[in-house]
Amino acid sequence: MRGARLLAADVDLELALGETEGCGLGQFGPVFFLENAGVDKTCVVAEGTAIFVVVADANCSTVEPPPFFGRDEEELRACATAVTDEITDSEASINGDEIADTEAYRTASPLFTLTFPENNTWGVEPGVAHAVSESYSFIIAPPPPGEYELTLSTMYPGAPEPATTTINLVVEAAQVIEPPPSSGPGSTESVETSSPASETTEAVDTTLPATSVATETSVATETTSPA
């Protein structure tokens, strides 16, 4: 059931971003969503994030034309199953190692709600609709920092060739960037510009010539000197 809910979330994200958007836009939380959109891309993922990979999927809604149309949950579920049954081949590999038997990872979503935006890639009127999705998908446990190459390939019905996507996945640990030295009170520059000694010198120099200071000092010494 967790995978089914993630599938619904992935469809919602796909709808919001379109097929060619950067894969980081709109991603948040403990799971990162990747799908076979037929567009190669590079994705940067934070360490500690699980990866939900959709190799192939079929979505049916209450607003799309046949064969992707259904009036209620029963019809939508039958629609998604029928379209997914027509997928003849789905393959996935990580760093060249093939994921065996992807058909064993077939999942159906619960009924969920979609909000189609203006000028969406589905070509339907904007607004709210119900939908059901089925997919061949799997979850990768949070991988350690490093670079990974995911290759996804799916043969959809009526397509002249498989839809293939290569995703360069970069898993990074969180950065720690030390702030620069403080330039506030207490720094060397601040002390030099506000030094009491320099302030005193400036006050004497500007209000009394040096010769006058020497004269007054001499007089004062002579006046107070013991007989």
| pLDDT at residue 189 is higher than 60 | no
To the nearest 5 percent, what fractions of the chain are helix, strand and coil?
A: 30, 35, 40
- List of residues 6+ apart from 144 with CB closer than 8 A: 47, 171
Question: To which residue do tokens 């446990």 refer?
Answer: 141
Average pLDDT, the chain: 78
Identify the band that residue 29 occupies on the pLDDT scale cut at 50, 70 and 90: confident
pLDDT, tens digit, 9 for 90 and up, residues 43-82: 999 999 999 999 999 999 999 999 999 999 999 999 999 9
Q: Residue ranges per domain, the chain? A: 2-172
> Residue 18 has which token pair?
């379109």
For the question of whether the overall pTM of this predicted structure is more than 0.75, the answer is no
Question: Among the residues of the chain, which ranges form H helices?
Answer: 2-17, 73-85, 188-193, 196-207, 210-224
Strands 127-140 and 112-116, how do they pair? antiparallel
pLDDT, tens digit, 9 for 90 and up, residues 98-143: 999 998 999 999 999 989 889 888 889 999 999 999 999 999 999 9
Burial class (CB in 10 A: 0-12, 13-18, 19+), 206: exposed
Of the two residues 149 and 123, the one the predictor is more confident about is: 149
